[in-house]
Amino acid sequence: MTSAPLDAHRRSPAFTPLPEDRPVRWGILATGGIGARFTRDLRLIPDDAEVAAVASRDPARAEEFAAEHGIPRAHGSYEELASDPDVDVVYVATPHSHHLAAAELCLRAGKHVLVEKPLTASPADTARLLELAEQEGLFCMEAMWTRCNPLMRQLAGFVDDGRFGAVRHVSCSFTFPFDGPPEHRLLNPALAGGAILDLGVYPVHAALMLLGRPDRVRAEGSLTSTGVDGHAAALLRWDATASRPPATASLLTSLECGPAESLSVAFEHARVDFPAGFIAPRSMIVTTIPTAGGERESREYTATIPGEGFGFEAQEVARCLRAGQRVSPLVPPEATRDAAGVLAAWRAEIDGGRGTGAHSA
């Protein structure tokens, strides 16, 4: 797969909205772990999604995946999937190092894309991909499913309506001890390995969803023996604005401790916690602190999650494609761009900038 130059002046007209009376036809690009998990969840929303085709670099693997998941067409290359006329949108599920090339291939072939997180491995590649989608007039979204979860949307609503005052601090960790082989994508520099891009992207998106782009990123951490970031903590700061006091966030990601999947948000007049994880949360506890004395009160909000919870992002993609919307307000391009900038700054503090260059395939 090669990258053709972008034409900075070309802009395509809006695409024709997909009809409401049939499910969106998905193509699954890559047959790894998340490709299978996402496919299983698409099956749970048959009015909105149909898995029309799958592609692998290996034709036999594509056939096997198609047979296992009941998918009508198996393609032995990503190129074949990109040119399948009966696919509306492609789910890109390769390692992050290969997101850009695969998503470019699909966009240039006229396909909308949902690209696994992080959208690409660097801010430059992220800007390039978002620009290409805009030029082609096609939908492109980072698969940051956490932002599509109903409880996370409710949390974002608390910021917008100001009911608990301003957010002053976000504390968020996503860690687990990983003892796989050095060639595994999590540890392999050639596959954009490291904790920050793979796991740290969630705490970064959680903090940015609540506070926007930070003014300062500081970090400490250490590298694995393969040279990727294995353990990394970050401290983010947002300066005061006319409408908001200053705020901070402390984020932790690691392949060397845990497991931890925690989010706690300190508003001026409340604290919000996610007792059973924040990535696809089913429960959120809001503890309010009365300003004029009285007892603290805790209220639990719950959500029903079909399957693992990937369906919410797929339904958001369907909503956008049926409405003719090129971008989603739940995971807008500017949030993906800002997150890419924070991820790169965080990585640069840990590895001296070695790993933050482009990882284009």
Ligand X SMILES: NC(=O)c1ccc[n+]([C@@H]2O[C@H](COP(=O)([O-])OP(=O)(O)OC[C@H]3O[C@@H](n4cnc5c(N)ncnc54)[C@H](OP(=O)(O)O)[C@@H]3O)[C@@H](O)[C@H]2O)c1
| Catalytic residue positions, numbered | 117
Q: Which residue is nearest to ligand X (CB)?
A: 32
Min dist CB 242 to ligand X, Å, is 36
Nearest residue (CB) to ligand X, 32 versus 165: 32
Nearest residue (CB) to ligand X, 189 versus 248: 189
Copy the structure tokens of residue 307: 């399957």
CA quadruple 45, 278, 118, 224: dihedral sign = negative
Burial-class residue 293 by CB neighbours within 10 Å (0-12, 13-18, 19+). exposed
Using alpha carbons, select from 122, 119, 185 the residue that is nearest to residue 357: 122
Judged by the rule CB under 6 A, the positions of this chain that interact with ligand X are 30-35, 56-58, 61, 93-96, 98, 116-117, 143, 145, 185, 191, 198
Min dist CB 35 to ligand X, Å, is 6
Question: Is 118 in contact with 130 (CB distance < 8 Å)?
Answer: no
- The whole-angstrom separation of Cα 165 and Cα 158 is 9
Nearest residue (CB) to ligand X, 309 versus 341: 309
Nearest residue (CB) to ligand X, 120 versus 288: 120
Q: In what order do the strands lie in the sheet with 167-175?
A: 216-223, 229-238, 247-254, 167-175, 260-267, 270-273, 283-288, 297-302
Q: Which amino acid is at 290?
A: P
Strand partners for 218: 235
Min dist CB 91 to ligand X, Å, is 10
How far is the CA of 253 from the CAs of 2, 222, 274, in angstroms?
Answer: 33, 11, 17
Min dist CB 20 to ligand X, Å, is 27
Nearest residue (CB) to ligand X, 121 versus 270: 121
Min dist CB 23 to ligand X, Å, is 21
Backbone phi, then psi, for 338, in 5-degree steps?
-65, -40
